[in-house]
């Protein structure tokens, strides 16, 4: 297994970012930062249908952002690397600064 080329690295990198590019998945990561949770608990916590949560978790799992551990019939999800939360927090700082500079970023929605 050789080191990835710059293009391959950019592709992997973009894949990670793309997994972060959904508000529900952002919320899932923050929830799992508080504590590991199984699927139904997450679904309840985020007031979201279980299949929807399960699909989002699959995306995060495929990118290795979360890991799983079976506990009876339940599957407990946890963050793979808490540094990812630090990353998200820095992004939020940048975002807040950006918002205070130009308050019309909301228009992109």
Partner DNA sequence: TCCATGTATTCGTTTATCCGAATACATCAA
Partner DNA sequence: TTGATGTATTCGGATAAACGAATACATGGA
Helix, strand, coil distribution of the chain in percent, nearest 5: 65, 15, 25
Number of residues that bind DNA (CB under 7 A): 26
- Which one, 29 or 76, has the nearer CB to DNA? 76
28 binds DNA (CB under 7 A): no
> Least Å distance between CB 59 and its own copies?
10
Q: Are 50 and 9 a contacting pair, CB within 8 Å?
A: no
How many Å apart are CA 51 and CA 95, to the nearest integer? 30
Q: Which of 1, 3, 6, 73 binds DNA (CB under 7 A)?
A: 73
Examine residue 27 and tell whether it contacts its own copies (CB under 8 A). yes
Nearest by Cα to 33 from 70, 84, 76, 74? 84
74 or 98: whose CB is closer to its own copies? 98
Which partner in its own copies, DNA, none is near 35 (CB below 5 to 8 A by kind)?
none
Taking phi over 0 as left and psi of -120 to 50 as alpha, with beta for the rest, 67 belongs to beta
Establish if 29 lies at the interface with DNA (CB under 7 A).
Answer: no
């Amino acid at each position: 297994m050789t080191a990835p080329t710059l293009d391959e690295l950019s592709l992997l990198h973009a894949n990670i970012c793309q997994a972060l590019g959904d508000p529900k998945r952002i919320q899932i990561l923050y929830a799992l930062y508080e504590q590991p949770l199984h699927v139904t608990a997450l679904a309840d916590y985020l007031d979201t249908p279980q299949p929807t949560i399960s699909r989002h978790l699959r995306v995060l799992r495929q990118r290795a952002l979360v890991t799983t551990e079976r506990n009876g019939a339940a599957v407990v999800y946890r963050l793979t690397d808490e540094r990812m939360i630090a990353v998200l927090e820095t992004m939020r700082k940048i975002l807040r600064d950006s918002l205070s500079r130009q308050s019309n970023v909301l228009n992109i929605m």
